[in-house]
A = this chain, B = another copy of it.
Amino acid sequence: MHETLRALAAGEISVAEAESRLAGYATGENGRFDAARESRNGVPEAVFAEGKPPDAVAELVALAVETTGRGLATRVDPRSAEAVTDRLAREFPEATVEYDEIARVLTARAADASLPSLDAVVGVVTAGTVDAGPAGEAAAVVAAMGARVERYDDVGVAGIHRLVDELDGLREADVLVVAAGREGALPTVVAGLVDVPVIGLPVASGYGHGGDGEAALAGLLQSCTVLSVVNIDAGFVAGAQAALVARTLDAARRE
């Protein structure tokens, strides 16, 4: 640590580089955990569990808790969630673990971990139940980064009166993540009704031509309103981008 601080003081390395070196990477048998990501990019490193064996997921989450006090894993199936819970129970018996089966997100926290808390609201909107997975993933990362989440579910455009009923709430959010599969019309309709940033989250639903979210993605990119987009089912990215806006807002509000 001494050497890193000396180099920083001498102007030989930047602040971010010093942070990275101080935080270091935690490396286990199943890969590397980037403990410095949150300090460097404002977004905590999340363990992408899909395709990894339960043991690997458990080790990586344990590494996260060990180095940063918290752990976040996405695309977690129930068996991996159990493996994480068991391992943390042994290694960090006072840590708490929460698992959302629909969002497939697991969050863990050491007993003494301080949580970020941002003075900003992210609305997370879904068109139907099929969007619950990616939207839940987005909501989970927003919450992990400390912003307040407001959910607006099942307000798809096929029954637009339901959306209209929620309009006041939607307009009070600071930034919106709007998920939609199939033809992906909802984010466009929402963006036409509010004046805050909308992040469109296409969902891999539907079959045939344009299925698996490709029609929704293309529709969001072609939207006649203003919105930015993330990849199909990329709930983590949508939530993190929204929370980065919330972080900036929080800083401004605290100024």
Chain A residues with CB under 8 Å of chain B are: 12, 14, 16-17, 20, 25, 31-32, 34, 36-37, 40-43, 127-129, 154, 156-161, 167, 171, 174-175, 182-185, 188-189, 191-197, 199, 202, 204, 206-211, 213-234, 237-238, 240-241, 244-245, 247-249, 252-253, 255
Partner of A255, one of B183, B248, B253: B253
Stoichiometry (number of copies): 8
Residue ID in chain B nearest A175 by CB atoms: B248
Q: Is the Cβ of A214 less than 8 Å from the Cβ of B218?
A: yes
Partner of A43, one of B167, B226, B238: B226
Q: Is the Cβ of A158 less than 8 Å from the Cβ of B188?
A: yes
Distance of A161 from chain B, by nearest CB (Å): 5
Q: Is the Cβ of B209 less than 8 Å from the Cβ of A214?
A: yes
Distance of A63 from chain B, by nearest CB (Å): 13
- Interchain CA distance A244-B34 in the complex, whole Å: 31
Q: Is the Cβ of B233 less than 8 Å from the Cβ of A208?
A: yes
Q: Is the Cβ of B129 less than 8 Å from the Cβ of A223?
A: no
Q: Is the Cβ of A189 less than 8 Å from the Cβ of B189?
A: yes
